[in-house]
Structure 1
Amino acid sequence: MMEHPPRVGNRLLAALPREDFGLLAPYLPNVSLEQDAVLLRSGDRIEQVYFPHSGTISFMLDMPNGQTVATAAIGHEGAVGMLSVLEPSRSPVTAVVRVAGIASRISASRFHAAFSQSGAIRHAVQTHARALLMQFQHVAACNALHSVEARMARWLLHIHDRIDGDVLPLTQEALSQLLGVRRTTVTHVVRKLRMSRAIRSDRRGLVEIDRPRLEEATCECYEVMRRRFDQIFPPETNESSHSDCANAQNYRLCVPKT
């Protein structure tokens, strides 16, 4: 039977056999991910790879006029900087922490060395690349075809999938950056979602969601992406790696007990 590293909160790391995980483990300290911290800026050379155990990170595309729009969200199922092993280059996106958490961090050079030695690590990189490509494709289509209200509901659900609890620490400025729209548009959409009781928000930058109502407000993209995601990361993979995750649904947060 394949042995997995014990109590690892990141699904890519948890899926590695113990021997392959051992190539990374000595160089993987845990670090705090502070809300709104920028882990990587567009155009930067990738020096570190982050494996979140909790929290949520958004990949942002920075436009020449200063506007931003989110292209993907990742949590404990993904990584930041991992794809640098495929072709050393500068980052095409900015990675911003949206919900604070914990991550394991390793230098890109150490990760590249382990990648060259381990077929399992190479498979993890391919899995992550498939998940990101799927997000990029669906987010691009959703941005072109669906309303801002449906897109906001989708992003809130994506973030909710990756955290514990129903209160999301998101300001209207953060929502504006995710959606690539003006603050006035965000204010209008938040008001509509509040009227439908899909969300409750306050001035402290907290958004409390009612998930069933929020699912009614989103477009079909959320469900399509969720199903595609479960094909890439089957729930049983997570369950076989962690006894504490036996009741995990889809890719909701599952982290080790401390």
Structure 2
Amino acid sequence: MEQATRVGNRLLAALPPADFALLAPHLRKVELRHDAVLVRSGDRIEHLSFPCSGAIALIMELPNGQTAATAVIGNDGAVGLLTALGPTRSPMTAVVRVAGTALQISPARFHAALERSAALATTVQIFTRALMTQVQHVAACNALHSVEARLARWLLHIHDRMEGCGDVLPLTQETLSELLGVRRTTVTHVVSALRASRALKSNRRGQLEIDRRRLEVVACECYKVMSRRIDRIVSQDAVRLLHAAPARNGCPPPPEFPFAKTDS
């Protein structure tokens, strides 16, 4: 699919060319630097980010300072898409945990396109369903499964979003603590257990080398169930549905990749 190759984000790539053309002139390609905060909990959402590579964690912050991840977003999703429901403040903090790139657009530009595109409205629905599926599975998994199984699940989800980047994940103990909602001392014990099972080959400072096959054995069933359900939502069936959506704009497809250069 030519547009998917050029765009990089699965949600945007699924749009019919005429609908994508409503967004294309206003999309800006930016770098997602490791540990960069895209939006903080309680802040107004200044831009929507559609990742093309990398991984972004959605973090819930409690009044006592504790934090826990509720979802990980890669090139199958977006950050800030809740603004499609109207002006809102972010309920969570979005932090880049694996560096990459994204396409950004202002809420005003996105809303203007949304009013003219039934396919774009369907895209918002698809992402909302996928995100809710992930959040619900994470909540159930946190309540029912061991810390080792949960860490294996998170590592597999992040690895899925690092296509072609090998088996070394750039994750610190602080990040793992945040993903699991546990103290760093607990992370140390869990990482040691995964090394003993050889699901982790090494854990150099800020890097984890995984053995994916063994990691899948350690992970709870949530990983495969969640992955199947999310992939079914953001699937070729959804793509066909988007292409069948009635066009309301009559715009021609963009002649070439129209985005600005990556911000430095």
TM over 0.5: yes
Following superposition of structure 1 onto structure 2, how do residues 29-178 of structure 1 map, counting pairs within 5 Å? 29-164=28-163, 165-178=166-179
Supply the RMSD in Å over aligned alpha carbons. 1.9
Displacement of 1:5: 6.7
Partner of 1:247: none
CA-to-partner distance for each residue in 1:233-252, whole Å, 9 max, x for gaps? 2257789xxxxxxxxxxxxx
The range that moved more, 60-69 or 84-93, is 84-93
Partner of 1:225: 226
Displacement of 1:117: 1.0
Looking at structure 2, the residues matched to 200 and 109 of structure 1 have their Cα atoms a distance apart, in angstroms, of 47
Give the letter aligned to residue 186 of structure 1: V
Partner of 1:205: 206
Displacement of 1:203: 3.4
Unmatched 5+ stretches in structure 2: 241-264
Structure 1 pair 172–129 and aligned structure 2 pair: CA distance change class (3 A): same
Point out the structure with max Rg over C-alpha: 2
Answer yes or no: is the 8 Å Cα contact 1:56–1:100 preserved in 2: yes
Looking at structure 2, the residues matched to 22 and 140 of structure 1 have their Cα atoms a distance apart, in angstroms, of 37
Unmatched 5+ stretches in structure 1: 240-258
Displacement of 1:135: 0.6
Give the letter aligned to residue 227 of structure 2: R
- Equivalent pairs counted in the alignment come to 239
CA-to-partner distance for each residue in 1:197-229, whole Å, 9 max, x for gaps? 101333321011101100000111111101101
Q: TM-score, normalised by structure 2?
A: 0.87
CA-to-partner distance for each residue in 1:81-130, whole Å, 9 max, x for gaps? 01211132111000000100010000111111111111111011000000
Specify which structure has the bigger relative contact order, considering alpha-carbon pairs within 8 angstroms and separated by 6 or more residues. 2
Answer yes or no: is the 8 Å Cα contact 2:200–2:210 preserved in 1: yes
Looking at structure 1, the residues matched to 105 and 217 of structure 2 have their Cα atoms a distance apart, in angstroms, of 40
Q: TM-score, normalised by structure 1?
A: 0.88
The range that moved more, 82-91 or 134-143, is 82-91
Looking at structure 2, the residues matched to 45 and 181 of structure 1 have their Cα atoms a distance apart, in angstroms, of 29
Answer yes or no: is the 8 Å Cα contact 1:69–1:180 preserved in 2: yes
Quick one: percent identity of the two aligned structures?
Answer: 66
Looking at structure 2, the residues matched to 56 and 238 of structure 1 have their Cα atoms a distance apart, in angstroms, of 22
Answer yes or no: is the 8 Å Cα contact 2:52–2:103 preserved in 1: yes
Answer yes or no: is the 8 Å Cα contact 2:82–2:88 preserved in 1: no
Answer yes or no: is the 8 Å Cα contact 1:134–1:225 preserved in 2: yes
**Runs of 4+ residues deviating >4 angstroms:** 2-6, 235-239
Partner of 2:235: 234
Give the letter aligned to residue 203 of structure 2: D
Partner of 2:247: none
Answer yes or no: is the 8 Å Cα contact 1:3–1:18 preserved in 2: no
